[in-house]
């Protein structure tokens, strides 16, 4: 029965009222229905005959029609048939109102497309129950149609993403494999060798940035974004960006300009790595979509009650059509078709930018005109350093690589099941004179540790290893030795957080692929 609870459910389904059309020539029937519906979410319009009903239905998106079978002009069943044959009205459910004895009409009514019937004289409860049920069904149907459309759309985007991704990965992969093969030729000149290895390095970096983007998205999805704030000089940061990007633009008629007003603050507290990631994404896009002209970057302080820094990346490139300006911030969305237009990219960059900026408490906006260029602006809360002491980052940097034989007499334990990783350490560090002990799994790492614990100065331990994993290795070593520096190495994909590694006893974590500067920086801490 239609009670209080039913009414509530109906209301919660939508904030809007339902609109129904009541087709009945009897004024008293109309009045009755008006009274019945008066304290519900249903609003009724009325038609007195078939022609009027059809006209009203065509011009208003009714949610339901309640139709008397006996009408003065056309018979209600015929009206229903006409409504069902018109695209504008065919989806409106029709409920017939008829006298109980008229079984024949009922059958014809269903054949004409009606969904239900009510017999006269009707009761309030029954009328409301039937009408409500069909309104609800119709709403569910509509929601299903929307959900299906969305699912299809996102499926299409995912497929486009996958095919695009395979293209994005294969391209640098081809260069890496191709040029690595070429490098094996003994007759190469030193210049060729340098050129080929440069290509391999830059393709590797390209591949890495694609993997980073995908990981970034999965981290966001797992809610694992975290910030690491430090204090640094923004002016210096902009200079560093400039020097990297000027190199990338060297073969293009595009000038890079950095503009920072005199009164803009310099020292800030922020997540430098994330800020760089945002700029990298925006600048890569600016570079990609600007065939010639100028790319300008800069920032200023917006003197609001809570002051914010406003950064921008402005280009004189191809611009973005108005209708695409919102959607490009969504994942996998690209204005052009990559394969035909020769633009590379995963369609993830801007979605990452938006999420990072939002996560850091700012917002992103875009101004763009096709053919003229685009300006991406984003804000971040301005946090001043609390005291004047500068972070280590700001102190004069010592030369980055230790001098030859600087670590002679020191011993490093390296545990990694992938032998190439060890080969990388061996080649990288051999000039320093450090002795390297290699363990191919966790068990061996513990054995070597037991036999050489007196000599080992630092242990670099991979987290994911067969037999005994890196966390277990660290825990076991920590039981005997509280002070040996333990450095975990891990692939980001494992999502082993710093905290987890620290809990197991590690002093530091470095992420693969291991960057030479990162590795040296950490080893210096313990070996210098």
Name which of residues 238 to 267 contact ligand ADP (CB under 6 A).
Answer: none
Burial of 294 (0-12, 13-18, 19+ CB in 10 A): middle
Bond from prior residue into 513 cis (ω within 30 degrees of 0): yes
In the complex, least distance from residue 160 CB atom to ligand ADP, rounded to whole angstroms: 11
Tell me if residue 425 falls in helix, strand or coil: helix
Q: Which two tokens stand for residue 317?
A: 């490139």
Stretch of 11-19, 80-88, 341-349, 508-516 lying at the interface with ligand ADP (CB under 6 A): 341-349
Name the residue nearer to ligand ADP (CB basis): 76 or 345.
Answer: 345
In the complex, least distance from residue 152 CB atom to ligand ADP, rounded to whole angstroms: 21
Which residue among 233, 277, 346, 469 contacts ligand ADP (CB under 6 A)? 346
In the complex, least distance from residue 214 CB atom to ligand ADP, rounded to whole angstroms: 12
Name the residue nearer to ligand ADP (CB basis): 336 or 528.
Answer: 336
d(CA 420, CA 514): 12
Residue 279 binding ligand ADP, by CB under 6 A: no
Residue 357 binding ligand ADP, by CB under 6 A: no
Name which of residues 56 to 115 contact ligand ADP (CB under 6 A).
Answer: none
Which residue among 50, 347, 402, 442 contacts ligand ADP (CB under 6 A)? 347
Name the residue nearer to ligand ADP (CB basis): 49 or 154.
Answer: 154
Residue 349 binding ligand ADP, by CB under 6 A: yes
Name which of residues 360 to 389 contact ligand ADP (CB under 6 A).
Answer: 374
Phi-psi region of 482 (alpha: psi -120 to 50; beta: other; left: phi over 0): alpha
Residue showing tokens 């990609």: 288
Name the residue nearer to ligand ADP (CB basis): 54 or 328.
Answer: 328
Which residue among 24, 315, 441, 462 contacts ligand ADP (CB under 6 A)? 315
**Closest C-alpha to 353, from 282, 272, 271:** 282
In 25-178, at which residue ranges do the beta strands (DSSP E only) sit?
42-47, 64-68, 94-99, 116-120
What is the size of the binding site for ligand ADP (CB under 6 A)? Answer: 22
Query: What are the residue ranges of helices labelled H in 342-434?
Result: 349-359, 419-429
User: Which are the contacts of 375, defined by CB distance < 8 A and separation ≥ 6?
Assistant: 312, 313, 314, 315, 366, 367, 368
Name which of residues 150 to 189 contact ligand ADP (CB under 6 A).
Answer: none
Which residue among 336, 369, 393, 455 contacts ligand ADP (CB under 6 A)? 336
Residue 317 binding ligand ADP, by CB under 6 A: yes
d(CA 59, CA 44): 15
In the complex, least distance from residue 287 CB atom to ligand ADP, rounded to whole angstroms: 9
Name the residue nearer to ligand ADP (CB basis): 160 or 493.
Answer: 160
Q: Is residue 487 within a helix (H) or strand (E), and if so which, with residue range?
A: strand 486-491
DSSP summary character for residue 289: T
Say if residues 393 and 234 touch (Cβ distance below 8 Å): no
Sites of contact with ligand ADP (CB under 6 A): 281, 285-286, 289, 315, 317-320, 328, 333-336, 345-351, 374
């Amino acid at each position: 029965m239609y009670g209080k609870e039913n009414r509530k459910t109906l209301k919660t389904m939508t904030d809007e009222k339902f609109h129904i059309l009541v087709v009945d020539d009897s004024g008293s029937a109309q009045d009755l229905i008006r009274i019945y519906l008066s304290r519900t979410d249903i609003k009724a319009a009325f038609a007195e005959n078939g022609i009027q009903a059809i006209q009203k239905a065509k011009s208003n998106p009714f949610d339901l029609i309640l139709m008397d079978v006996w009408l003065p002009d056309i018979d209600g069943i015929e009206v229903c048939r006409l409504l069902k044959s018109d695209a504008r009205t065919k989806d409106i459910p029709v409920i017939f109102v008829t006298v109980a004895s008229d079984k024949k009409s009922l059958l014809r009514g269903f054949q004409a497309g009606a969904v239900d019937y009510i017999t006269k004289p009707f009761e309030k409860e029954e009328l409301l129950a039937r009408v409500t049920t069909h309104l609800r069904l119709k709403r569910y149907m509509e929601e299903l149609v929307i959900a299906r459309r969305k699912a299809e759309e996102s499926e299409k985007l995912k497929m486009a993403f996958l095919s695009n991704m395979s293209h994005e990965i294969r391209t640098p992969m081809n260069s890496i494999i191709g040029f690595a093969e070429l490098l094996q030729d003994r007759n190469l000149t030193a210049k060729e060798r340098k050129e080929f290895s440069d290509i391999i390095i830059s393709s590797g970096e390209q591949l890495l940035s694609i993997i980073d983007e995908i990981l970034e998205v999965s981290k966001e999805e797992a809610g694992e974004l975290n910030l690491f704030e430090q204090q640094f000089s923004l002016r210096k940061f902009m200079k560093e960006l400039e020097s990297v990007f000027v190199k990338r633009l060297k073969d293009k008629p595009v000038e890079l300009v950095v503009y920072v007003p005199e009164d803009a603050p310099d020292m800030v507290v922020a997540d430098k790595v994330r800020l760089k990631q945002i700029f990298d994404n925006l600048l890569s896009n600016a570079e990609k979509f600007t065939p010639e002209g100028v790319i300008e970057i800069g920032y200023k302080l917006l003197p609001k009650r809570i002051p914010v820094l406003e950064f921008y990346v402005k280009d004189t490139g191809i611009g973005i059509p108005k209708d695409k300006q919102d959607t490009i911030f969504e994942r996998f969305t690209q204005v052009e078709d990559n394969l035909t237009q020769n633009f590379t990219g995963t369609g993830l960059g801007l979605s990452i930018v938006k999420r990072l900026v939002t996560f850091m408490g700012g917002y992103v906006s875009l101004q763009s005109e096709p053919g003229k260029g685009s300006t991406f602006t984003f804000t971040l809360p301005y946090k001043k350093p609390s005291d004047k002491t500068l972070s280590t980052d700001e102190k004069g940097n010592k030369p980055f690589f230790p001098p030859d034989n600087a670590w002679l007499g020191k011993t490093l334990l390296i545990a990694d099941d992938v032998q190439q990783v060890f080969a990388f350490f061996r080649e990288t560090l051999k000039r320093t004179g450090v002795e390297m002990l290699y363990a191919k799994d966790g068990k061996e790492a513990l054995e070597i540790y037991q036999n050489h614990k007196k000599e080992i100065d630092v242990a670099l331990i991979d987290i994911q290893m067969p037999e005994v994993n890196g966390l277990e290795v660290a825990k076991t070593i920590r039981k005997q030795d509280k002070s040996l520096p333990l450095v975990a190495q891990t692939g980001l994909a494992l999502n082993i957080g710093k905290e987890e590694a620290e809990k197991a006893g590690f002093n530091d974590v470095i992420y693969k692929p291991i960057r030479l500067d990162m590795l040296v920086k950490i080893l210096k801490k313990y070996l210098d």
